Amino acid sequence: MFQSDFGVKDGAVSEMKGVAMGVSTELRLFDLTHEIPAFNIWEAAYRLQQTVPYWPAGTVFVSVVDPGVGTSRKSVVLLTKTGQYIVTPDNGTLTLIAETQGIGAIREIDETVNRRQESKKSYTFHGRDVYAYTAARLAAGVITFEQVGPLLAKQEVVALPYQHAVMEGATIKGTIPVLDVQYGNVWTNIPGELFQRLGVSFGAMVAVRVLHGGQVVYQGEMPYTETFGAVAVGKPLAYLNSLLQLSFALNQGNFAAANGISSGGDWTVEVRKKL
């Protein structure tokens, strides 16, 4: 399963898949996305968190959003507690999956063994030369997880800072990890169970503040509804998305664009019940 910020306008993705098929033509190759915004490690972390739980144990993921390619950052394979493997630079990409799926073990890739031998002078395409190659060898059974390389301490995994979903008094705080990019809906990391502690029922109003770097970008009120059509076209609403996390939208509109909202670890949200 491949994910990257490469896009599909050139041959980079095909090169990675070609390397994998060169290891074994029996492998089945899939794409998570190649439309991660350039260098956006945070979104790579979120897309893994969003997707990994739905794939069976033994699935090998390759995530390449690697602005530090060729530097001293480590190349690793993480085995989740639920049995999936993630091959990636250790640059924060593992932040969320380490929390939600848990770390079974993590190993640094030994590039003296797990690297395309003809790539020794290539320093800027580890996605092809190290990650796709190692992932394919692991998935095909050419190497075991133990043969990836030396074990690393779980607590050494690089983690990006962000606002965890918490309740403080009558207010719930969280992060805007990602936008529903096709429609401009704003997704938060606030789970429905936590939101329900506000005692909000369908049709009740909630007060919402969105901040970027601590500065208020949006402040408003909207009803909590089951679905978009519960409000008039162009009106805002709060709802639970497909991951059962609190989200905000305009019915048949783009809430993020209309209010200048983006996503990432420095975008936070505060929600309370309107009294």
User: What percentage of residues in the chain have a pLDDT greater than 90?
Assistant: 93
Long-range Cβ contact pairs of 67-70 (< 8 A, separation 24 or more): 67/39, 67/41, 67/91, 69/123, 69/124, 69/125, 69/126, 70/123, 70/124, 70/126
Residue 236 has pLDDT above 90, yes or no: yes
Model pLDDT, residue 170: 96
Task: Collect all residues with Cβ–Cβ distance below 8 Å to 208 and sequence separation of at least 6.
Answer: 218, 219, 220, 221, 222, 238, 248, 269, 270, 271
* Local structure of 268: helix, strand or coil: strand
pLDDT tens, residue by residue, 153-200: 999 999 999 999 999 999 999 999 999 989 999 999 999 999 999 999
Token duo for residue 33: 């996305």
Q: pTM for the full model?
A: 0.89
Phi-psi region of 176 (alpha: psi -120 to 50; beta: other; left: phi over 0): beta
pLDDT number for residue 117: 79
Collapsing DSSP states into helix, strand and coil, what is residue 188? Answer: strand
pLDDT of residue 62: 99
Tell me which H or E stretch contains 96. helix 95-100
pLDDT band with cut points at 50, 70 and 90 for residue 124:
confident
Query: By mean pLDDT, which of 1-5, 145-149, 179-183 is the weakest?
Result: 179-183
On the question of pLDDT at 121 being above 80, the answer is: no
